[in-house]
Amino acid sequence: MENKYLNDVPDVEVKDIVSKRQKVISEAADSMPKYEYNANVLAKNLHPKVQHVKITDIEDLADAKIYTLCANPDLGTKKLAYFRAGQYVSLFLKIDGSVLTRPYSICSSPREAFEGKYRILVKTKADGFASKYINEELKVGDSLEISGPEGFFYYEGLRDAEFVYGLAGGSGISPFVSMAEAICDGTEDFNLTIIYGSRNSENILLKEKLDELSKRSNGKVKVFYVLSDEEKDGFEHGFITADIIRKYQNDTNNADGKYSVFVCGSQAMYDYLDGELIKLNIAKKYIRYDAYGEYELGERDSEFINEFKESIYKLTVVTNDGKERVVDAKATESLLVAMERAGIKAPSKCRSGECGFCRSKLVLGDVFIPEKVEKRRQYDKLTGYIHPCCTYPKSDCRILVNCEEPRVERKVKDMKKKERTMGLVMSIIMSAAMGALSAYLVLKGNPKAMKSVPVPMMYISNILLSVTVGIIVALCLPLGKMGRALAQKAHAKPPAMKFTLLNAIPFSVGNTLIVSLVVSFFGVAMGRSKAPASAVADMPPLPIMWLGSWGKLLIPTLILSYVLSVLLSPFVSQLVGLTDAGAEVGRASRGED
């Protein structure tokens, strides 16, 4: 069978195999193909640092708006990251010189992410700095920067019960709308009973949408409303209580009686429900709170407020690029707010101490961290790390902020330092070699010099002089930077030979020109000083002798210097860590570090 198959193969095709293979190889790029592990590609797609979106639709509600955000390919975002129903995105905003972020829960189905679309609900708060700006200033067509999906407020089958009670207040309905959408389109599979608290029926957000989702969910999504300021048929009156939860628990087909409780609303609602949920004797693992945004100092913090409410301190912020800024920090505002007011782009996402993204080092000062938002690891407590989003100053403070952008700048700074070290090492090596060569050429061209100066002394003095000048040249001239710029202009990258050949030119030429010029001057000057007066009278003027001596030294030393630079620079670069530092800068710039 095999022989028959081989007989059917045309001779021409067999003969052409080698030539075709050689052609493919010769046409291939001379650089290694770039390969990314699939896990890394997936991680980038799911957890982008920044997503560029455009507002394509705005829906007006009672005192809120729903924004449809679509991927903006013009700014580099071709698709949006997938998310779990219940997660949020942070909007990066710049308002009147303040740089800040605000988290908003996604209220659309995760399936819509495949269409390059998110929807978020923004409710205007009376004292809301960001929400007022968003709802009054943003319009269709505006571009925004947002984070990737964040947060842990989503259903997890291994952890949560099959029946979930979603307790919502105000704009806290957003994640539950997303969950209900996901249940209806088959993305999620659990039973969701939403108990939605509102002041009155007019303030209920997305009621028609919720009722429509309940109807098409085949009984898996149920919605009940609780009005605090209005009595109306078909609605519960008062606040969401343990009794109301028990009432609707009995209306479900929950055989084993186990259920999870998800809560999303205001800080005041969380404080109230803490006491109500205790009455239900639910295991702690079945109670989930969404990050409610920025913590507001309240009655439980009265001792701190009464003592420090009028105080304003100095906050020194040190970023990873080494820059320092001193800003005013009110005791009743978080350190994060103080930085944002001053226009410092500080990292933040949840703003409630949950995600740890703003984690920073407290170097100096005394702070207050409310117990309600004290979610630091034990190690962080022992070593002085804080979450500025929920930390308040009690004295002048100094913090080290772990910003994203300065990380690249720090790596660039480290690379430049190693670049200078390499330039110094290369200058010493090349200068020593040039000093030895110049001594050899002088002795060979002028045998009488051996009589006036011992040969070892001639070599030692020339080498020391050359090395001294070479060190000065390396410290004063950015030869390494010039070499890199020359190579980059020719689109050459390490470790290619083209890069090495071009990078070596400024090293060798700059060093050789100056070192040989100085060495030849001192050589001629020393020779004239030791010659008899009668001999000096017959000699050409000093400048002519100097230039003549330099001309004889220049070509040999230039060749030696360039050859040494080409041969040794890759090894010296590896030795001082410049190769690794350059690779780190590349990875950090691409967001891979």
pLDDT at residue 543 above 60?
Answer: yes
Q: At what angle do helices 455-476 and 405-445 cross, to 10 degrees?
A: 150
Give the pLDDT of residue 12: 60
Distance CA 354, CA 313 (A): 26
In this structure, what token pair is assigned to residue 346? Answer: 């500080």
Kindly give, in sequence order, each residue whose CB lies less than 8 Å from that of residue 35, ignoring residues fewer than 6 positions away: none
Distance CA 416, CA 432 (A): 24
**Phi, psi at residue 258, to the nearest 5°?**
-80, 140
Q: Go through the chain and tell me how many residues it has.
A: 593
CATH architecture of 49-146: Beta Barrel (2.40)
Give the pLDDT of residue 551: 79
Neighbours of 300 (CB within 10 A): 12
Q: What angle do CA 562, 567, 573 make, to 5 degrees?
A: 105
3-state secondary structure 561-581: HHHHHHHHHHHHHHHHCHHHH
Distance CA 543, CA 536 (A): 13
Distance CA 122, CA 126 (A): 13
Give the pLDDT of residue 347: 87
**491-521 pLDDT, tens digit each:** 777 777 887 888 888 878 888 888 888 877 8
3-state secondary structure 154-206: CCCCCCCCCEEEEEEEHHHHHHHHHHHHHHHCCCCCCEEEEEEEECCHHHCCC
DSSP symbol at 80: P
Percent of the chain topping pLDDT 90 = 45
pLDDT band for position 296 (50/70/90)? confident
How many CA atoms lie within 13 Å of 266's alpha carbon, on the beta-carbon side? 12
For the entire predicted model, the pTM comes to 0.64
Distance CA 170, CA 175 (A): 12
Query: Do residues 122 and 104 touch, judged by C-beta distance below 8 A?
Result: yes
**527-537 pLDDT, tens digit each:** 777 767 766 67
CATH architecture of 163-289: 3-Layer(aba) Sandwich (3.40)
**16-60 pLDDT, tens digit each:** 787 888 888 888 777 777 777 888 888 888 899 899 999 999 999
**259-275 pLDDT, tens digit each:** 999 999 988 899 899 99
| Burial per residue of 492-513, b for 16 or more beta-carbon CB atoms within 10 angstroms, e otherwise | bebeeeebbbbbbbbbbbbbbb
Query: In terms of pLDDT, which residue wins out, 549 or 353?
Result: 353
Domain coordinates of the chain in residue numbers? 49-146, 163-289, 299-403, 406-589
Q: Do domains 49-146 and 299-403 have the same CATH topology?
A: no
CATH architecture of 299-403: Roll (3.10)
**407-428 pLDDT, tens digit each:** 555 666 677 777 788 878 888 8
